[in-house]
Amino acid sequence: MSRIGKKPVEIPQGVSITLGAGNIVTVKGPKGELKQTVDRDITIEVKDNTLEVGRPTDQIRHRAMHGLYRSLISNMVKGVTEGYSKKLELVGVGYKAANQGNILDLALGYSHNIIFEIPSELKIVTSQEKGQNPMITLEGVDKQLLGQVCAKIKGLRKSEPYKGKGVKFAGEVLRRKAGKSAGK
């Protein structure tokens, strides 16, 4: 039984949801517009200020899709009203981050700088304060795109468990390992 799928999605003031041909759900809000194609078996009803997602049977596939599409639509509604933000921290000596528009320039301890192009849907801010690690802040309305870009940036220099060097989320706690023990 899908508990998430049965929960109605509240539609805040200023957000409009339209159902198009081919089961395409379009969510428009003050921060932007998002579209999502929904499986043909899943039904979507907009009543007053709520949206309800339904399924035809209790098959495993239908139960899985029921909760999935309810969560995706809920994330779209939150994205167009509040937006999403993630902060990445560069931990390591000489690690730097700078941006020119949507071009991110990273110095991550390799022999060359890494130039990474951020999609135009996302907004990027880099900062480096004295005594602090360089920070990269990404903001956008699409939660999936934001997470995917953050994962790609983290993959450029994964955090290692001995010294903790690499790219990590701000506030992320790494599982550390003990190094070599000295001679007995």
The pLDDT, as a whole number, for residue 25 is 93
The pLDDT, as a whole number, for residue 181 is 78
The pLDDT, as a whole number, for residue 184 is 56
The pLDDT, as a whole number, for residue 22 is 84
Token couple for 161? 């468990």
Nearest one of 135, 98, 104, 137 to 119, comparing CA atoms: 104
Query: Per-residue confidence of the chain (184 residues) as pLDDT tens digits?
Result: 558 888 999 999 999 999 988 889 999 999 999 999 999 999 999 988 999 999 999 999 999 899 999 999 999 999 999 999 999 999 999 999 999 999 999 999 999 999 999 999 999 999 999 999 999 999 999 999 999 999 999 999 999 999 999 999 999 999 999 888 765 5
Exposure string of 41-67, with b = 16+ CB inside 10 Å and e = fewer, is ebebeeeeeebebebeeeeeebeebbb
Strand order in the sheet with 16-20: 16-20, 24-29, 32-37
> Which ranges constitute the DSSP H helices of 7-142?
60-81
The pLDDT, as a whole number, for residue 2 is 58
Q: Where in the chain is the domain with CATH 3.90.930.12?
A: 3-81, 84-169
The pLDDT, as a whole number, for residue 5 is 86
pTM: 0.88
Q: What is the CA radius of gyration of the chain?
A: 21
Token couple for 179? 């190094």
CATH no. for 3-81: 3.90.930.12
The pLDDT, as a whole number, for residue 182 is 62
The pLDDT, as a whole number, for residue 34 is 94
Question: Sign of torsion, CA 109 115 117 123?
Answer: positive
Asked if 96 contacts 127 with a C-beta cutoff of 8 angstroms, the reply is no
CATH no. for 84-169: 3.90.930.12
The pLDDT, as a whole number, for residue 21 is 86
